[in-house]
Each structure stands twice: as C-alpha cells, then as structure tokens.
Amino acid sequence: MRSRLFPGAAALALAACLTGLTACGSSGSSDDGAGDGADAAKPAGLTVWIMRDSVSDAFLSRFRTDFEATHKGTTLDIQIQEWDGIGQKITSALASKDAPDVMEVGNTQVAQYAASGGVKDLTGKVADLEGADWIPGLAEPGKIDGKQYGIPWYAANRVVIYNKDLFAKAGITTPPKTRDEWIADTTKLNTGGDDGIYLTGQTWYALAGFIWDEGGDLAVKGADGSWKGTLDTPQAKAGMAFYKQLQALGKGPKDSDEAKPPQADVFAKGRSAQIISVPGGADAITKANPAMKGKIGFFPIPGKSADKPGAVFTGGSDLVIPEASRHQAQAYEVVRALAGATWQTDMAKTMSYVPNRTSLAGVLAGNPGASVMAVGAANGHATPNSPNWAAVEANNPIKQYMTQVLTGADPDAAAKTASDAITKALNTAS
C-alpha cells in the first residue's frame, strides 16, 4: 500500500513507506555468521534489491565502485525493483532457495516479512552498527519481539510548509514552537479570505502525531498478545480535539485526505498559509505555480512545549538480509556500509533524506526543508507493530472517525466505533 503524498521521483519511493504494515518475528539466529571477518573477506557475487527512485543512479554507482574496490573479488548486482506488486515478490523470494542477498523494504513492512521466518535476525549486530544512535521512530518498526530484523536506511517525516508572504502580512516574524503559539498564529492568518491552514479532515498521520503527543496511541498490544484499538482513550480524544481546533482555522474539506485534491495544488494558489507535508511538497508547489518560488518556508510541527517538536510518523526504508541468502556474511558488509556514517552522509546530501543516525542530522544544515525534517525526526514514531495493520488501513476507520467528529457526530461514540473496528481488524487472522 502506498500514500501518494510526495512529489518527485525520490519522494515517490518514500510514499510506499508511509503506510503501516507490521508483523511478528522469525526464528532466525542472530549470530550464525553474518559479518564474521573471515567469511566476509571471501569474494562473492551479491544480488541487492533497491526500490525504484529510492536513491539516484549516481549514488548507486559511487557505492558499487567503492564497495567492490574495498572488497576485492566481490561484485554487486544491484537490481531495481518496482513498488507496485513488490509485497508478493518479496514474500515469494523469502520463501525460495534463491533469494537476493540484501533487500530494501519499507520500514513498516519489516515485521510482515519477518513473520514468514525468511528474514535474518541481526540483533547481534546492532552494537556494531551503532544502533544506539538510530532514530527511534525509524528503528522501532524493524524490531519485533525484541529482535532487530530491519536495519534503518533512511527516513522522512512531515513538517509544516508555510507561505512567507502571508506570515509577514499577518505580522508573524517567527514560526510557532508550541501548539498554543500555532493556534494563535493560525487564527491571525485565517483572515481576509486567506486560509490559516489547509488541513483536510482525514490527514490521519497528522492526527496520529497529536495523539502521540498526548501520550496515547492508535492501538496497543496486551500482555496476552491481543491488540486493542485506543482511539477512545482520553489521550487519543485530546489529540482529536486539538486536530478539530486546528482544522477549523481553514477551509480544508472534512471528508477527504490531502490527496483529494492534491494539497500542493491548493497551496500553490497562494491563499493558504500552511500545509502539513514532507518538504518535497515544496517542489510540487513551485511546479504548479513557479511564482511561489522563494515564498516557501518550513518549520517542525509544534509540540506541546517549546523544548520538543511535535510527534511525527517516521517513514522510510530498512535493509534486510534473507535467510536464503547464500552469502550472509558478505551481505552484512553491504548493509553495514550502506547504514554507516560515510554513505549515510552521502545519501542525505544527495537525496535530502534524514540519515538513520541522530548524530548525523547536521549534515542537512544547508537544506532548509530537510534540516527542519531532521529536527522533527527526533520525535518520530511508527504505526502499531501488528501483522494485521494493513487490514486497518484497507478500510481505514481512523479516517471515518475523523470526518464524523469534524461534522458534528458524538465524539465518544465515534471513537468507540473506530476503536472496535481497529480491534477487530488487528485480531483477525490474515
């Protein structure tokens, strides 16, 4: 499943990572040779699957040349995969005896694939990979039942894109840093026919962030292994109440998401002061209206206090090693290189992604949108780590709940109905 919120080729790759698919762990051992020095030194022909537009051809060329030069006799066959239909292709490959050696997968898809038993447990390599420095919201989806199957590769999350001219017109010289400031500024902006914010009624990833800020979640796993939808908790209701307050300060439709119509097209008309989007949304805005160039700014989604940005969903990709790889030790060397500081820095600068390590956020300092995204990533989260989360999104009761609340339905009854639907979906065998 894919959310179509990201303009541009590289951004489309991230779109596949911003919906949640999760599952349980596999039975692979964490220390059966991957990365052992002697085995890793043996020459091998490795097959690596990378998703279409995740990184540029130039980046891959540089990486291949360097890796082969530093691992004499080893060659990399980097095969580009299409997002459409990739789920079944990966599932089939993991079940085969001739799987590729390294695969890129959407970070929230790791658990789904690990459930098959075909993904190698790399828990024993986390320290070697400096896992303590990983962005939590990107690392968490790759960790199932205490075992690390997916190694974080790159991240992206939403920020607030704003119209500098409209902010100046309203006398706002500094972007808000707290929710209270955000509401006050958006109220000032919502005058004279301008939209204080263009926020649709079903931008549910933004709602998830507000719920996380309140200490709630979309669903939780009980001690008995069962799942329960939690939109009816006080914390989730508080997040929805804030969403309703913010959404009312604009003219966004209450019964659709940010793709209907494309919010970048709406913002490009110059009458909306803000949208919640990945920074790449700015490219779509200027493409739709070149006159907007130079008028676009970015700031992190504000949190409840100025010392911490608002919570955001962290999308991105992980690297996994199939159990069926014939060269697991050498495959680990590929993962270690791609996830290491050198190539993380190169990729961040090349692709404007947030690197997998919090200590590398500074490499984006010269990129206004990406550097703001990196600030928000420090408070990144993931969707519930259930093997059936895809079933929730298929008939998304969260969107239905949001529209009901925004159009006057009893919020308590709507929250209970949505929570029950989530509970049923998460506890139904797939």
Task: State the DSSP string of 360-428.
Answer: GGGGGTT-HHHHHHHHHHTTEE-----TTHHHHHHT-HHHHHHHHHHTT--HHHHHHHHHHHHHHHHTS
Mean per-residue pLDDT pooled into runs of 10, the chain (430 residues): 36 43 33 50 91 93 98 97 91 94 91 89 98 91 92 94 97 98 98 93 97 98 95 98 98 94 96 95 94 97 97 94 96 98 95 92 91 92 84 92 98 98 88
**pTM of this structure:** 0.82
Q: How far apart are CA 376 and CA 139, in angstroms?
A: 15
pLDDT value for 115 = 85
Q: What are phi and psi of 272, to 5 degrees?
A: -105, 130
- What are the extents of the domains in the chain? 9-156+314-381, 159-312+385-426
Closest to 67 (Cα-Cα) out of 250, 381, 334: 334
pLDDT value for 261 = 94
Beta bridge partners of 320: 103
Looking at residue 65, the DSSP 8-state letter turns out to be H
Q: Say whether domain 9-156+314-381 belongs to CATH 1.10.3720.10.
A: no
CA of 31: how far to CAs of 297, 325, 329, in Å? 47, 15, 10
CA of 330: how far to CAs of 28, 45, 76, 126, 337, in Å? 17, 9, 11, 16, 11
Query: DSSP letter string over 232-271?
Result: TSHHHHHHHHHHHHHHTTS---SSS-TBTTBHHHHHTTS-
- Residue 210 one-letter amino acid: F
Long-range contacts of 57-61, Cβ-Cβ distance < 8 Å, separation of 24 or more:
58/350, 59/346, 59/347, 59/350, 59/351
Which residue in the block uniquely carries the two structure tokens 């298929």? Answer: 394
Closest to 385 (Cα-Cα) out of 294, 335, 318: 318
pLDDT value for 23 = 31
Query: How buried is residue 61: exposed, middle or buried, by Cβ count under 10 Å (0-12/13-18/19+)?
Result: exposed
For residue 182, the Cα-to-chain-centroid distance in whole angstroms is: 23
Query: DSSP letter string over 302-364?
Result: PBSSTTSPPPEE-EEEEEE-BTT-S-HHHHHHHHHHHTSHHHHHHHHHHH-PEESBGGGGGGG
CATH of domain 159-312+385-426: 3.40.190.10
Domains 9-156+314-381 and 159-312+385-426 share a fold: yes
